[in-house]
Amino acid sequence: MRKKLYLLCGLNSERKLIVDLLAILFGIGSWLGINSVYVQLPLLVGNAPEGWNLPSYLVVIIQLGNIGPILYTAALRIKSFRDSYLIVALLVLGSCAAMTTAFVYDQTVHVFGAERSVPLFITVFGLSLVGCTSSVLFMPYMGRFKGIYLITYLIGEGFSGFVPSIVALIQGVGGNGECIVVNGTDPNEPPQYTSYTPPPRFGTRPYFIVSSVILAISMVAFVLLDRLAVCRREYAAVSIGNGNNYAYEPSTPNDEETRSAAGDAAATTKEKASLDRTNYLLMMVLISVMCLFGNGFFPSIQSYSCLPYGNVAYHLTVTLSSMANPAACFLAFFVQRNSIRSIVALSVVFVPFAAYALTTAMTSPDPPLMHNVLGDILVVACWTLLVGLVSYIRLAITTLLRCEGGQTLVWVGVASQLGSLVGSILSFTLVNFTDTFQQYYPC
């Protein structure tokens, strides 16, 4: 019966469901902390002294989390150590940082003559260390397992954006701000108004407590994945050293899976045509530009683009955009081939959505179709498709360049992080030191 079910679902009947489940739970912990912060922004900007500028601060702080991969790489050159210990430490750090965020997200510190959300910045930096370091630690760890389990880990990584969005949709945002009269009934006094926003179903504190619990579950799942004998039996034919240093052993005639994988690899190598220098550089520049906008620039101005349409529109934009990312990754699993022509075509499709998002942000506090249902629908749809396109294009380029071998994926990572860094600095400068983007005040 179990084999028939596997065949019906297109799964390998020899795989262990317990390993799949633990790999998914492990993958969820990779970016869940950072995604939780992004999804909670519609509520955080209302309490933070930075107001609508808060996303620009957080984007820069998240980019600082890349010090984690740098330190990890440097540490491996000095001394070898078990990567499993570091993974546990990172997941514990993430869980503690999320729990701390639940109690300090609204606390401020007087710095340089103004109130700043310093406690929130510190906890977000802790969460960013987990996410950024997972790219060079979590996925390579899964390389010791059979190849079929890497896909389930990637599904879990996709859920790290999907799960916070589901929790946020249940939480709600309360509604759009309303202007209410606050002065007395004296007809001789001019009316005074203040903005009032209905509360969500539950607040930011329970939200981050839930995130902390999920990260703790992810940590427990990893410990089981690393220690259970049934999981160790699912290792590939590999010699494991310290850190992520392990080498695959040569295939044997009795190793059906290894022979099949080797055959597929040989066929792929035979069919693969190496990119010429121009196309290679084009893909590198394109992925850097996608990360500049997708990771650095647009997250910082999203509040200016969406909040004039109301809290509900902003809330839906953030949550649906977070769902678009894993949806794009799932779609990529069903696309067998990516060509330069299709990637360039999708990049051209990206331009009008990016232009509309930028237009709505720059025309704040009076963007197009404001106070119109059509405007709300357009801005939510635009941002959702925008994030989905960026995610798919980045994954398509990475898949295409992966076949180039050598140090290509290292340069892909460098190009991605460089683009993200430039975008975050550019947006932070424009948002905080120019009048390019203006906040909307309902009263």
pLDDT recorded at residue 6 = 46
Write a three-state SS string for the chain: CHHHHHHHHCCCCCCCHHHHHHHHHHHHCCCHHHHHHHHCHHHHHHHCCCHHHHHHHHHHHHHHCCHHHHHHHHHHHHCCCCHHHHHHHHHHHHHHHHHHHHHHCCCCEEECCEEECHHHHHHHHHHHHHHHHHHHHHHHHHCCECCHHHHHHHHHHHHHHHHHHHHHHHHCCCCCCEEEECCCCCCCCCCCEEEECCCCCCCHHHHHHHHHHHHHHHHHHHHHHHHCHHHHCCECCEEECCCCCEEECCCCCCCHHHHHHHHHHHHHHHHCCCCCHHHHHHHHHHHHHHHHHHHHHHHHHHHHHHHHHCHHHHHHHHHHHHHHHHHHHHHHHCCCCCCHHHHHHHHHHHHHHHHHHHHHHHCCCCCCCCCCHHHHHHHHHHHHHHHHHHHHHHHHHHHHHHCCCCCHHHHHHHHHHHHHHHHHHHHHHHHHHCCCCCCCCCC
Same-domain pairing of 363 and 240 = no
Residue count of the chain: 443
Structure tokens at 180: 């209410």
Specify if 255 maps to a domain: no
pLDDT-derived band at 249, boundaries 50, 70, 90: low
Q: What percent of the chain lies above the pLDDT cut of 90?
A: 35
pLDDT tens for residues 125-176? 999 999 888 877 887 788 788 877 877 887 888 788 889 989 988 888 766 7
pLDDT recorded at residue 336 = 61
Specify if 288 maps to a domain: yes
Same-domain pairing of 243 and 289 = no
What whole-number distance in Å separates Cα of residue 125 and Cα of residue 130?
A: 9
What whole-number distance in Å separates Cα of residue 308 and Cα of residue 124?
A: 26
pLDDT tens for residues 257-281? 444 444 444 434 443 456 788 888 9
In order of 44, 54, 62, 224, 373, the CA distances from 430 in angstroms are: 21, 13, 18, 47, 29
What is the b/e burial string over 50-74, where b = at least 16 CB atoms within 10 angstroms of the residue's CB? bebbbbbbbbbbbbbbbebbeebee
Q: How high is the mean pLDDT of the chain?
A: 82
Structure tokens at 297: 């620039």
Q: Mean pLDDT over residues 315-330, rounded?
A: 84
Same-domain pairing of 238 and 329 = no
**Furthest-apart CA pair in the chain: how many Å?**
95
Specify if 351 maps to a domain: yes
Give the number of other CB atoms < 10 A from CB of residue 385: 18
Same-domain pairing of 302 and 229 = no
CA-based radius of gyration for the chain: 24
Same-domain pairing of 244 and 280 = no
Q: Output the CA torsion sign for 154, 160, 162, 166.
A: positive
Q: What is the CATH number of the domain that holds 238?
A: 1.20.1250.20
Cα–Cα nearest to 311, from 37, 43, 50, 54:
43
pLDDT recorded at residue 46 = 81
Specify if 116 maps to a domain: yes
The parent domain of residue 121 ranges over: 12-177+204-248
pLDDT-derived band at 242, boundaries 50, 70, 90: low
pTM reported for the whole predicted model: 0.79
Specify if 3 maps to a domain: no
Q: Mean pLDDT over residues 191-211, rounded?
A: 83
pLDDT recorded at residue 183 = 64
Q: Return the top range by mean pLDDT from 132-136, 287-291, 402-406.
A: 287-291
The total domain count for the chain is 2
pLDDT-derived band at 241, boundaries 50, 70, 90: low
Specify if 127 maps to a domain: yes
Same-domain pairing of 209 and 313 = no
Same-domain pairing of 389 and 315 = yes
Specify if 392 maps to a domain: yes
What whole-number distance in Å separates Cα of residue 396 and Cα of residue 173?
A: 34
Same-domain pairing of 342 and 239 = no
pLDDT recorded at residue 224 = 95
What whole-number distance in Å separates Cα of residue 204 and Cα of residue 226?
A: 33
pLDDT recorded at residue 96 = 97
pLDDT recorded at residue 293 = 92
Q: Select from 195, 230, 248 the last residue of a domain.
A: 248
Same-domain pairing of 296 and 243 = no
Q: What are phi and psi of 111, to 5 degrees?
A: -130, 125
Cα–Cα nearest to 293, from 423, 438, 100:
423
Specify if 190 maps to a domain: no
Same-domain pairing of 232 and 306 = no
Same-domain pairing of 239 and 116 = yes
Q: What is the CATH number of the domain that holds 354?
A: 1.20.1250
Cα pseudo-dihedral 109, 114, 115, 117, rounded to 10: -80
pLDDT recorded at residue 352 = 95
Q: 108-122, 322-336, 379-393, 410-424: which range is least confident on average?
A: 322-336
Q: What percent of the chain lies above the pLDDT cut of 70?
A: 80
